Every structure is written in structure tokens, then in C-alpha cells.
Amino acid sequence: MNIPFFLAAVGNAQGKSQLVFVWGKATLEAKAIIIFLVIFSIMAWSVMIAKAIQMRRAKKLNAYFSNEFRTQKHVLDIFDRRVQAEGCPMFVVYQAGSIELNSRLKGAEGERRKFVSLKGIEHVKRSLENMVAQESLKLESGLILLAIAVSGAPFLGLLGTVWGVMDTFGRIAQEGSATMAAMAPGVAAALITTVAGLLVAIPSMFGYNWLVHNLRVLTVELDNFAQELISKMETEYMEEGE
């Protein structure tokens, strides 16, 4: 017989039986808090996974689009080809700037002029800045849930623990028996809510910090691209002497 595997199985069985015992001793309030924290944990993990996939996809598409953009001879070549790149923040910024510039270049009869005024370039710049902000907000959406999990879950767990300890000491005072056997189950059941709160908060903290870092990187990349784009537009389409 494999002794290590046997001991591991016994340890797992004891751990499960202890959790079942502690759960059985928990108060109704503690169970409600734990169930809420479990639901909250599922939501937090869903947000972390979804945002990680979204940011990874955005980063990959941005790299592809950036390489394609730098191979173009004219700044509006991609726009004129009616290329579409869904889910690419950099393309969305480029599209917004190109639409604004194209509208400023159109003459009275619909033909495209060769140059645009300084005022027109300023409108294009504001359009780019607005779109960069909108794309940053899209990438940031959902992170508030993780921030709430990081700051709120431990306090919910602490609330359950304090409530459980208070209930335990109140029951012991009524019964008049302050033995360890009488106190231990109630205190253990009370502490499980703090454990549940930390199990929600700790992964959310790491996930939130990682996602915020990637969000900052993507936002800086969008900002830099917008500056590069407006510079190329000014060089190619702005009237000399403006």
C-alpha cells in the first residue's frame, strides 16, 4: 500500500469533515455572508477572465494594426480601402480621426481637397482625444467590481466573524458554561467568514493590479498612436504657412 497517498487521502477526508462540521456550527447570518461571498467570488473571477481575454486580444490586434499602418504610404490609405478591425482600440481611434479628416477635406461638390486648415486639424485632434478616452473607459469597465471585492470582501468576512463570536459568547453567557469545548465550535464557525472574505479579496487584488497595469499600457499606446496619427495628418494635409 502506498503510504503517502493513503495519508493524503486521510488528510483530505479530515479536512472535508472539519469544513462540514464548521459549516454546520455557523450561524444563519454567517452562512448568508458566505453564500454572498461565493457569488461575489464567481462574479469577480468572471470579470478577471473576461477582461484578461479582452486586453490580450486588444494588445494583439493593436500590434497587427500598428504594423499595417506603418507600411501605408498615405495616412488615409487604410480608411480608403474600407478596412474593418473589430475589437481593435487603435483602429477605432484611427477610424474616428480619418472620418473627421475626410469630412474636413471634402469640398462643396464632394471632391477631396488636398489640404485642410489649422482649425480643421484642431477638430481632428479633439476627435482623436475623445475616442482615446472612450476606448480607455471601455477597457476599464468592470474593474470597479474587482476594486469593491478587494476592499469590501474582507470587511464582510470580518462582520460575519464578529457577529459569530458575539453570538457564541452570548450563548455561553446564557448557558453559564465557559469551557473550551463549548466555545471552540462557535469561534471556528465565526472565523470561517473571514477566511471566505480573504479568499475573495486576495485573488481579486492580484487580478485588479495586473489588469490596471495592462490598462495603463494600452492607454499609453493609444495616446502615442493618436499623437503619431495627428502628426502624419498635419504633415500630409495641413496647408503650409498655417
SS3 sequence of 17-67: HHHHHHHHHCCHHHHHHHHHHHHHHHHHHHHHHHHHHHHHHHHHHHHHHHH
pLDDT of residue 57: 93
User: How many Cβ atoms are within 10 Å of 88's Cβ, its own excluded?
Assistant: 22
118, 112, 55: which is closest to 79 by C-alpha? 112
The pLDDT of residue 190: 80
Q: What pLDDT was estimated at residue 4?
A: 40
Residue type, 115: F
Residue 128 lies in a domain: yes
User: Domain containing 75: what range?
Assistant: 25-237
- What is the predicted pLDDT for the residue at 241? 52
Report pLDDT for 226.
Answer: 92
Does residue 19 fall inside a structural domain?
A: no
219 in a structural domain: yes
On the 0-12 / 13-18 / 19+ scale of CB atoms within 10 A, 153 is: buried
CB atoms within 10 A of CB 227: 14
Q: Residue 84 in 3-state DSSP?
A: coil
How many structural domains is the chain composed of? Answer: 1
Among 207, 231, 220, which residue's Cα sits nearest to residue 59?
220
Q: Is residue 18 assigned to a domain?
A: no
SS3 category, 218: helix
What per-residue confidence (pLDDT) applies to 58? 92
In a domain, 12, yes or no: no
Residue 230 counted as domain residue: yes
Looking at residue 49, what is its pLDDT?
94
**Is residue 130 situated within a structural domain?**
yes
> Looking at the domain assignment, is residue 16 inside a domain?
no
pLDDT at 6: 30
CB-side exposure of 37: number of CA atoms within 13 Å? Answer: 30
CA distance 235 to 233: 5
Going residue by residue through the chain, which has 242 residues, state the pLDDT in tens, using 9 for 90 and above: 443 433 243 344 454 577 777 777 777 888 888 899 999 999 999 999 999 999 999 999 999 999 988 888 888 888 888 888 888 999 999 999 888 888 888 765 656 667 777 888 888 899 999 999 999 999 998 899 999 999 999 999 998 888 888 877 777 777 766 666 667 767 777 888 888 999 999 999 999 999 999 999 999 999 999 999 998 888 887 766 55
Q: Collapsing DSSP states into helix, strand and coil, what is residue 238?
A: strand
The pLDDT of residue 8 is: 41
C-alpha to C-alpha distance for 230 and 129, rounded to whole angstroms: 10
